[in-house]
A and B are shown apart, each in its own frame.
Chain A
């Protein structure tokens, strides 16, 4: 599995992703935001961070980068694209995913561990997760408050495109377990075609015991399985 990890000025999770892809046996390669070509890769990942200092809106200026045309073309051809945190914000700004990420309703930067439900485990990103599994992984953001109009939310919910939800230890999506005010406790979504996913929590920071959780590992293994299987055909 060849993975292009795009580095923007201000990205700070690009090396975490690199290490994580290596950990599951994939071959990561960095691409710079000014590059116009992705080259031959199987997956594209947009890392977390503070591209362009979050000026204007988080992810807005990065979504206009030269490389993003290549990312859009890659997605249009069905290639898997994963955006984490700032990467999720970029995918929304680039119209590859619906909705927007607003300032946390607390107004605070929130850096802590959350619990997530897996709402859809029949995608290339989540096929190794059992539906009842509760995932622990960190969040670290100030603009993670997922917003979309009612109609968009109905589509997301009705089509199984909500991927992860913030839940409490009992498995309930309560207000108390919602760290940022996201609509319907949404922590991650996928596009209609099922190849572009964005999420605010950081699976790449939950891949080794020393990090406190390994619950993010199966996301990357799911992708690897999918790519390996599609290459055998």
Chain B
């Protein structure tokens, strides 16, 4: 067992209306960042867990995303290993 750190990104599905992203986009545009085409707002979770291997940690995190962290109706998720193995994975 070793302590591993994972970064989980949860983002709204493509095509799904993201009113928060739209509001931020219009805020940026009012600061004259006029070349912005799209802003999407999601969540970033940093999770520390004990696992036998990086693969094991990612399998655990995938299950967490499917059961609670992401809503399969509206959100996609990506999982990345932050350190200890250098084995980045999605």
Contact = CB atoms under 8 A, between A and B. Distances in A.
A148 B19 CA distance: 16
Nearest to B67: A64
Interface stretch (B52-60, B69-77, B78-86): B69-77
Contacts of A60: 68, 71
Contact of B23 (A98, A107, A181): A107
B73 A104 contact: no
Interface in A109-145: none
Q: Give chain A's interface secondary structure class.
A: loop
Contacts of A103: 19-20
B73 A107 contact: no
Interface residues of A, number: 20
Q: Give chain B's interface secondary structure class.
A: mixed
B17 A102 contact: yes
A64 B16 contact: no
Interface string A55-68: 01100110010000
Contact of A102 (B43, B68, B69, B74): B74
A15 interface: no
A22 B47 CA distance: 46
A175 B16 CA distance: 18
13 contacts: A56-B68, A57-B71, A61-B68, A92-B73, A99-B73, A100-B73, A100-B74, A102-B17, A102-B74, A103-B19, A103-B20, A107-B23, A181-B17
Interface of A: 56-57, 60-61, 64, 92-93, 98-100, 102-107, 147-149, 181
Given A98-B73, A103-B19, A181-B17, 19 more contacts: A56-B43, A56-B68, A60-B68, A60-B71, A61-B68, A92-B73, A99-B73, A100-B71, A100-B73, A102-B74, A104-B19, A105-B17, A105-B19, A107-B20, A147-B16, A147-B74, A148-B73, A149-B73, A181-B19
